[in-house]
A and B are shown apart, each in its own frame.
Chain A
Amino acid sequence: LDIGAKIFKNDEVSEIQIPQIETLNFIPVETKYKKVLTLNWIISIVASIGLFFFFLRIFSKSSIYDYLPYFFGAVLFVLTTVFILNLIGFKKRKYAVRDKDISYKKGLIATKLTTVPFNRVQHIDVSQGFFSKRLGLAKLTVYTAGESGGDLSIKGLTLQKANDLREFITAKVNV
């Protein structure tokens, strides 16, 4: 008789026992963050128009001159398209925190969901940009080891919320 086979147990973990991320309640980021997106877009538009006229002067005698309007037209088109897609897809920017991990999803046409387990967190960072600061918003970045692709950052949280999250995760990491 094969006694080994009797003692050794490796029950299959049923699906229900494994927590399902689909059933989680995801929380949207602050709508106020749309203002930051808008302001950033306006600034990038103004900057590229400025750059356009600057280049027109520099390359006035160059063969590139004729192509400049097309090039900057394309730049403006891309900037604006990205901005509009960001606005339409804004309500898709959602995050969720569980006991053992943090998740963030976004994207309208192409979607992405990222999860970082707390037991793999290296450090956590809360930062505020120029406009975010004036609106009381902040960005939370959760760093893991290795290349930057594995990091998770959530933009458009209230500063309070970002700090709370940081403290919550720090406490979990240090356990």
Chain B
Amino acid sequence: MSEFNFEVPSRQSVKGIIVLWGIGIYQFIRKAYLFFFVVIFQWIKRPDKFYTYFSKIGLGIGVLLIYIMVRKVLDFYNFTYHIKDDNFILKEGILKKNTTVLPLDKIQNINTSQNILHRLLNIVQLSIDSAGSKGSEVEIAAISKDKAVALKTALGKSISKNLPKEQEVFQEAIKVSPITLLLVGITQNHLKSLVFVFAALVGVFSELEDVFDLFGAKEKFDDFTNVEKLSFVSFIILLLFTAIVSILYSIGAIFVKNFGLKAKLKGKKFDVEKGLFNKLHYALNVNKIQSLHLETNFLKDKFNLFNMVVKQAMSNHKSKKNVQLVGVREFELDKLKSLIYRDSPLMASEKIKPNIYYLIRNLLFTVLFVIVINVVLYFLVKFNLSYINIVVIPLFISLNILSYKKRWFSISDTHIISGSGNISTLTDIIETHKIQTISITQSFGQKRKSLANINIFVASTEIVLPCIDYKKAMKLYNYLLFKVESTSKNWN
């Protein structure tokens, strides 16, 4: 037996108090950063006047810090967990006591992660996810490594009880080298991060403006940011600089997040490790995977690279349960798919395309949208979009054509595969026995053409099969319902 007895309530690691303090102070700074900014600004502006306030401000911050520290210590002493009668029980709360009971057989996966504080103290954070509604996630902010491992096995016992004993070794499915990660970063669709950086820049500017305004220095700010005074060349330089920074940032982010990415499988157990500073370790049960999502684009395709998201049942859009894998090669992908779908292998079946009406409708909507925007802007603010239209209209049309070209689906006895995307190419894979709900919709236009959409809901996502011949759609609807209702397999 292990040296840890989980039947008696235990607290978090004592070192954990430091982590809790760190988290508390971090949250405090995040909430009050603008205040600090103002304080520092005031200090620079009028050091003499500032010192008269300094004692009061210092006292205020000191009291808050002491409150955070005391509060976190009390939190620590009132946080216990134990296992009793196949339930994981967690008690927390200083005045308002809160007890969470997780039945062990409902536990979906147990993940550990380490931020920098955790690593310095040689402890980990452990989170337990279970399928179900609210409050299905439990987090132990600080636990020693050995204890985390012991707790994992104790929690996993009831899961493995139901599974046949696997006398297998881990099979490595994916290993991503740092060079591949750089390649992934470079081949990323940088348009999105460009927009993000631009928005952030605008956000910082407007916030700065508020701060300047606060000190009656608005004119200075206006001088500083007057775009008319910036020459065209310096504007282009600024734009280029923004572009380079944002591209470097997104390459760096991918590298840091996914450094040392490894995925391996043993029987039903799926293990993923990644992260440079914040090390993440996922352990999930293959049977609980709800859907696979693959993504590639023109450039990535040239290098034979895929990004992949493994999704599990979600209660409220918590993306934590989604495991992201990047820089997966095609042969690794095939291996992973064959290991995940070992019981019912993926079979190639006929690709079905949506009716051409799908493209025509989207083009019509695009034209309508462009006309409305033009008319509204012209009559409301007398803004003429004609030059922008020359660029935007062909772009929209080609995006629509691309998204029609990339749209397809296929249905086999065991799987539904759906392809979509415009700039990137997306593929979603679900198993038919994991379907939760099916619906069929017909718009006015579709009715006239005798077409319909089928919407398939699984616990992690929704898949739309658009613009299928109505009779075919009805057949499919009946067939999929028959598949779900006649299966003895559990969805989770």
Task: List A residues at the B interface (Cβ < 8 Å).
Answer: 13, 15, 18-22, 100-101, 109-120, 122, 144-147, 149-152
Enumerate 10 A-B pairs (CB-CB under 8 Å) in ascending A order: A18-B482, A21-B477, A109-B444, A111-B441, A111-B447, A117-B435, A117-B485, A120-B484, A145-B436, A150-B436
Contact yes or no, B479 A150, CB < 8 A = no
Contact with A along B462-492 (1 / 0, CB 8 A): 1000000000001101110110110100011
Interface residues of B in 379-421 (CB under 8 A from A): none
Q: How far is the CA of A42 from the CA of B487 in the complex (A)?
A: 48
Contacts of B477 in A (CB 8 A): 21, 113, 115
User: In the complex the two chains form, what is the Cα distance from A149 to B55 in whole Å?
Assistant: 55
**Bound CA–CA A23/B478 (angstroms):** 11
Complex: A106 Cα to B435 Cα, angstroms: 22
B314 touches A113 (CB 8 A): no
Q: When the two chains form the complex, which single residue of B131, B462, B492 contacts A147, counting CB atoms closer than 8 Å?
A: B462
Check if B482 sits within 8 Å of A19, measured CB to CB: yes
In Å, the complex CA distance between A110 and B313 comes to 30
User: How far does the alpha carbon of A119 sit from the alpha carbon of B481 in the complex, in Å?
Assistant: 11
Give how many B residues have a beta carbon under 8 Å from the other chain's beta carbons: 37
Task: Please give the distance in Å from A63's CB to the nearest CB on chain B.
Answer: 12
Q: Which residues of the partner chain A approach B491 to less than 8 Å between Cβ atoms?
A: 120, 145
Q: Mostly helix, strand, loop or mixed at chain B's interface?
A: mixed
B438 at the interface (CB under 8 A from A): yes
Q: A145-B436, A145-B459, A150-B437 are in contact. Are A110 and B485 (CB under 8 A)?
A: no
Contacts of B447 in A (CB 8 A): 111
- Of all chain B residues, the one with the shortest Cβ separation from A144 is B436
Q: Are A117 and B484 closer than 8 Å at their CB atoms?
A: yes
Output the least CB separation between B316 and chain A (Å).
9
With A19-B478, A115-B481, A117-B484: A149-B462 Cβ-Cβ less than 8 Å:
yes
Which residues of A have CB within 8 Å of B455?
Answer: 149
Complex contact B317–A147 (CB within 8 A): yes
B460 interface residue (CB < 8 Å to A): yes
- Chain B residues positioned under 8 Å from A117 (CB to CB): 435, 481, 484-485
Chain A residue at minimal CB-CB distance from B447:
A111
The answer to whether B441 and A144 touch across the interface, beta carbons within 8 angstroms, is no
Chain B's nearest CB lies how many Å from the CB of A101? 6
Query: Is B478 in contact with A116, judged by CB distance below 8 angstroms?
Result: no
Contact across chains for B474 and A22 when beta carbons are under 8 A apart: yes
Q: Which residue of chain B has its CB nearest to the CB of A108? A: B444
For the complex, is B443 an interface residue (Cβ under 8 Å from A)? yes
**Distance to closest chain A CB from B136 (angstroms):** 11
In the A-B complex, the 6 residue pairs with the closest CB atoms: A150-B457, A146-B459, A150-B437, A114-B439, A144-B436, A145-B459
Complex-state Cα separation, A4 to B310, whole angstroms: 35
Contact of A145 with B441 in the complex, beta carbons under 8 Å: no
What residues of chain A lie closer than 8 Å to B492, measured between beta carbons? 145
Interface flag for B440 (CB, 8 Å): yes
Q: Of B443, B462, B474, B482, which contacts A150 at CB under 8 A? A: B462
